[in-house]
Amino acid sequence: MPEPRFVAACVQMRSGRDPLVNRDAAVASVREAARAGAQYVQTPEMTSLVERSRASLFEKVGPAESDPTLAALREVAREAGIAVQIGSLAVRNGDKVANRAFLIDAAGEVLASYDKLHLYDVDLPNGESWRESSTYTGGTCAVVADLPFASLGLGICYDIRFPALYRALAEGGATVMTAPACFTQQTGEAHWHVLHRARAIETGSFMISAAQGGHHEDGRDTYGHSLIVDPWGRVLADAGGAEPGIILAEIDLARVTEARGRIPALGHAKPFTVTRVGREA
């Protein structure tokens, strides 16, 4: 029996400070992707709100069950009969906010959710400083979610820098990995493509990541270049820059079997210890 094929799409956005404007943009783009033949559509991290001010963020977000973007995209998924992965939404979680992804099935039901495990606390060479942990609460559980045509490993943005997570997702049955993002311009130029190709090659999996792109209302600049990469590390689709839009590619899961058969690295992994020598006491 041949392995499944499906058409995947990434929605590239430039989300601003108004959640309802961002919601409408996401809905229009997901509908456009569905009309173009996509059976699975992914939006970027922070689909509904890109807001650096902690006070403004807390004024605009609430619990997941009342989030207008989640409700709207559930309806679009049901109407179009497609799967929709919301790269992430900011939702209230006690005295902090969760950076949470949602996978919606073709009936409009939330099949899975995932809270970003690794929080972006960094100081960059150009003076940018980010402390996600001051506002967001990190997740504790990796998630593999089964659609009728693929098993998805859920990740978000900074997660892509942690290969152990993606190996665990592959070992847990995922054949398609995701890292929807709001990647900074500086780090995106240096690392975005190579990280995606590396995670795809290491796990013999597809990588599908929708991205934010351009100059945002809160002052940040994001890299764009939404990507779809095959298990051999070949780029199947690249948004090519920072402008909003959609990209599509056919996902043939036979390529996963081929890649993992040619280089069975997942099965070759073995435990080891590290010995350090040569350092004076």
Q: Encode pLDDT of 39-81 as tens digits.
A: 999 999 999 999 989 899 999 999 999 999 999 999 999 999 9
Is the predicted pLDDT of residue 206 greater than 70, yes or no?
Answer: yes
pLDDT-derived band at 275 (thresholds 50, 70, 90) equals: very high
Give the C-alpha separation, 270 to 233, whole Å. 24
Residues recognised as catalytic? 45, 116, 157
Architecture per CATH, domain 5-262, reads as 4-Layer Sandwich (3.60)
Q: Residue 133: its pLDDT value, please?
A: 85
Q: What pTM, to 2 d.p., does this model score? A: 0.95
Q: Quote the percentage of the chain above a pLDDT of 90.
A: 89
Q: Residue 129: its pLDDT value, please?
A: 78
Average pLDDT over residues 9-21: 98
pLDDT-derived band at 281 (thresholds 50, 70, 90) equals: low
Q: Encode pLDDT of 91-119 as tens digits.
A: 998 888 999 999 999 999 999 999 999 99
Q: ∠ CA 20-21-26 to the nearest 5 degrees? A: 95
The domain spans of the chain are 5-262
Side-chain-facing half-sphere of 42: CA atoms under 13 Å: 32
Is the predicted pLDDT of residue 200 greater than 70, yes or no?
Answer: yes
* Closest residue by Cα to residue 29 from 256, 280, 264, 243: 243
